[in-house]
Homo-oligomer: A and B are copies of this chain.
Amino acid sequence: MDDQTHPPDEELREAPPAELPENPHPADTAEHIEGLDLNEQIKFIKQLPVRDAAQSMAEMDLHDQQDILTRLNLGLAARIVAEMAPDDAADVLDGIEEDRRRTLLRSLQADDREEITHLLAYDPDTAGGVMNTDVVILHKNLTVDQAIPQMRKEVHDEDKEIPYYAYLVDDAGRLDGVLSMRDLLIAKPGTKRLSEMISDQNLISVRVDEDREEVAHLIARYNFLALPVVDDDTKFLGVVTVDDVIDIIHEEASEDMQAMVGAGADETTDSPWSYSVKKRLPWLITNVATSAVSAVVVHMFEGSVSQMAILAVLMPVVANQAGNTGQQALAVMIRQLATERFDRKKSWLAVIRELRIGLVNGAFISCLVMLAVFMLTSNIALAGVMGLALYFDMLMGSLAGSSIPLILKELGRDPAQASSIFLTTITDSLGFFSLLGLAGLVLLH
């Protein structure tokens, strides 16, 4: 933590810019570094103590971390990786070009290498992919008097990241219970065994292959600071901590909102713009194909449109209104699926709820638009056709908007993915069909 004790690097030419406080938090240093260009970033990292460099880099965008580790000289890069928490190290190495990753791993000490290689094997979207292994583990047969000094020693010597829980295991390393610091702090000193303190505990843990979104649900549901991760044999592997869960929740919210409209799930304004092009273009092409459906519908009724061009004026009003109605239902449903445990019955009841809302809002808006069309055109039949088509399409919007995420979910897909594109296809084509079809029946024979 003390910059002065670190030998100056040969490339150190500038003092750290004035805007950083004297004893900056790694997150602040990270933000400062992210504002520099790559060459300056390298320079800045080189003049930091290795430990500070590791802590600050762990707070940076993954792309930036990877660029820096690829460009730094191997020795320093390896020392920085070794100083990172194993889960952070695995995250950054996961995205580095393979040759460089292998060289970096080879430069680590055997135990660090083994731990990181082990973590790299887990899917990043699972509990294993986000878990932390720097935890206090105590044998369940220890007494309170034995446990406190051992915990103190572990926290002190090995700088455990999560000192607010201790995990109790048996001889085989199987998880038996969790003690909070609070429990230990208020425990009567003596020879009571830790296992007795957890005898009526309702232990909650997750399997290492559990989806990270479900892990986030559990931590949010039970207000935990960390959730233990176990293998099939309930062997204790590590914990997912609440600060990682906050990142997961932010990422999942971005994924939902962006996937809904066919942008890349992991895009941010920091992503290279070519990356965004690559992610979005396939969905725009899909959108061309789905728009073709509504274009075909209009094409079927080209004759009606030629005879009554006012229909072309009304088309976008129907499509827009039903689309918006559907999107309101869509947003609420996607958020329900994102924040609650999936409950099939409850979810389908929510579709009924949306239909009710659509019935009322649709009736109101259709009457309003019908009146406006009548006042502007004095054509009561046209106003009636417009009102009916709009009401029908708004109901279809409510139905499609609320059920598309559920159908995607039931099919095992991401409930948000391109849902807005599917919705628009339905509301556009049904809207045009009902407006132009009704007009053909009522107005044009």
Contacts and interface: CB of A to CB of B under 8 A. Distances in A.
Interface string A226-239: 00000000000000
Interface stretch (A93-101, A109-117, A303-311): A303-311
A342 interface: no
A202 interface: yes
Given A261-B324, A276-B357, A246 B249 contact: yes
Contacts of A225: 164, 225, 242
Interface residues of A, number: 112
Interface in A211-269: 219-223, 225, 242-243, 245-247, 249-250, 253-254, 256-258, 260-263, 267-269
A332 interface: yes
Contacts of A180: 163
Contacts of A332: 258, 263, 267-269, 276
Nearest to A260: B331
Contacts of A331: 257-258, 260-261, 263
A73 interface: no
B25 A204 contact: yes
Contacts of A412: none
Contacts of A152: 185-186
Contacts of A347: 269
B155 A182 contact: yes
A179 interface: no
B284 A365 contact: yes
B250 A424 contact: no
A405 to B, nearest CB: 11
Interface string A338-357: 11000000110110010011
Interface in A166-185: 180-182, 185
Interface stretch (A7-15, A119-127, A292-300): A292-300
A310 to B, nearest CB: 7
The DSSP consensus for interface residues of chain A is: helix
Nearest to A308: B306
Interface in A105-152: 151-152
Contacts of A258: 328, 331-332, 335
Interface in A62-110: none
A16 interface: no
A361 B275 CA distance: 12
Given A283-B328, A302-B312, 12 more contacts: A24-B202, A25-B204, A27-B223, A253-B338, A262-B328, A269-B332, A269-B349, A269-B350, A288-B372, A291-B320, A305-B305, A324-B424
Interface of A: 21-25, 27, 151-152, 155-156, 163-164, 180-182, 185-186, 200-202, 204, 219-223, 225, 242-243, 245-247, 249-250, 253-254, 256-258, 260-263, 267-269, 273, 276-277, 280-281, 283-285, 287-288, 291-292, 294-295, 298-299, 302-303, 305-306, 309-317, 319-321, 323-325, 327-336, 338-339, 346-347, 349-350, 353, 356-357, 360-361, 364-365, 368-369, 372, 420-421, 424, 428, 432
Interface pairs A-B: 9 shortest CB-CB: A253-B253, A269-B350, A263-B328, A223-B243, A261-B327, A163-B182, A302-B309, A312-B312, A305-B309
